[in-house]
Amino acid sequence: MVLTDPVGITGNGYKRRRVLGGAAGATLAMTAVAGCGLFDDDDDKDRKTPDPLQPVLDEALTLAAAYDRAALAQPALSARLTPLGADHRAHAAALAKLIGEPLPSAAPAASSGAPTAGATLAVLRKSEQQAQKTAAAACRQTSAARAALVGSIAACRATHAEALR
Amino acid sequence: MLRVNEQLAAALAAEEAAIYAYGPIGVHLTRAVDRTEARAAEAAHRNRRDTLVSELAQLKASAGPAPAAYQLPFAITDRATALKLAIQVEDGVAQAWRVVLPVTQDADRSAALSALTDAAVRATRWRRLAEVSPVTMAFPGQP
């Protein structure tokens, strides 16, 4: 109604601004109070609930590191394994962005001896299958906004298990 | 509800297109391993199609008129083009199911995820048979 009446807007402009200013001031005050509460929670790290997708992110980082180690131990498999590790890094980056946490710097890859190529692939395959289950369960439980990304990650882990056959 | 119906109808269209495509694909595959894979894939798409048809009937949703004729995106003339289309078909099915995830919950979402996952795994098998590298993609179903 006011929008159809330009005279009304001009006439009340000053007052309206003052009213808005008052409201903004009140909002700021509330934010400050709420901010204190949030700050206190952040201080108490033990009480902070981890994001439900944190286990999916942790697995992505663990798997990426596992592929690095495997490629080092088995140079002949490097071309096959490197793209799979890169997929996990892409997952970790997307999940960290979604959760709103910085990505932890990757732990240095510790060499775990040099098993046979077959054993390396079998171990990785088992890890992928387990990680697929984690992601599929998370996809079922997560919000609509997160479902597509987590679903793609679960599907990707299944394709990795297939690629390692 | 409307969104679910729309996305399920789109998934049905993708499954129908896949069933259609595996006809000409099969004609140009002669190796036993290729043919076994194509037969299994076509059967899987038929199962999904049948499930979707009954689901949409229960939702009292119209699946939309079937297109008069499907058009292949390119001519299938040999094994290479047949495998290329098989990869493209499975990627398309994965995309159609991925968008069902946000509009479903619980068991329905799990079913959509299984369909997405199966299509992504088949696309990986086709890439391996076609010797396309890499055989995986980071986010299957993402357009």
* ipTM of this predicted structure: 0.94
In a domain, B20, yes or no: yes
A60 and A88 in a single domain? The answer is yes
Range of the domain at B96: 2-63+70-129
Q: Write the burial class of residue B48 (CB in 10 Å: 0-12 exposed, 13-18 middle, 19+ buried).
A: buried
To the question of pTM greater than 0.90 for the whole model, the response is: no
Flag whether residue B103 sits within 8 Å of chain A, measured between CB atoms: yes
Range of the domain at A105: 54-163
Give the closest residue to A109 by CA, choosing from A40, A77, A61: A61
pLDDT tens per residue across span B103-137: 999 999 999 999 999 999 999 999 999 999 999 99
A148 and A127 in a single domain? The answer is yes
CB contact under 8 A, A156 and B136: yes
In a domain, B45, yes or no: yes
pLDDT tens per residue across span A18-35: 444 444 444 444 444 444
Domain count of the fold of chain A: 2
Which of B102, B125, B137 lies closest to A148 in CB terms? Answer: B102
Flag whether residue A152 sits within 8 Å of chain B, measured between CB atoms: yes
Residue B98: list chain A partners with CB under 8 A. 148, 151-152
A43 and A58 in a single domain? The answer is no
B101, B110, B127: best to mutate for the A interface, most A CBs within 10 A:
B101
Q: What is the CATH number of the domain that holds A123?
A: 1.20.1260
pLDDT tens per residue across span A103-155: 877 655 555 556 788 899 999 999 999 999 999 999 999 999 999 999 999 99
Question: What angle do the packed helices B79-98 and B32-58 form, to 10 degrees?
Answer: 30
pLDDT tens per residue across span B40-98: 999 999 999 999 999 999 887 766 656 657 789 999 999 999 999 999 999 999 999 99
A59 and A109 in a single domain? The answer is yes
A114 and A156 in a single domain? The answer is yes
A8 and A81 in a single domain? The answer is no
Domain count of the fold of chain B: 1
Q: Please determine, for residue A8, whether its predicted confidence score (pLDDT) is greater than 80.
A: no
How near does any CA of chain A get to the CA of B89, in Å?
Answer: 16
Q: What is the CATH number of the domain that holds B119?
A: 1.20.1260.10
Cβ-based contacts under 8 A for chains A and B: 89
Q: How far apart are CA A22 and CA A39, in angstroms?
A: 26
Structure tokens at B56: 């949409």
How near does any CA of chain B get to the CA of A47, in Å?
Answer: 29
In a domain, B139, yes or no: no
A24 and A65 in a single domain? The answer is no
Give the closest residue to B41 by CA, choosing from B65, B16, B22, B20: B22
Total H helices, total E strands in chain A: 5, 0
How near does any CA of chain B get to the CA of A113, in Å?
Answer: 27
A73 and A91 in a single domain? The answer is yes
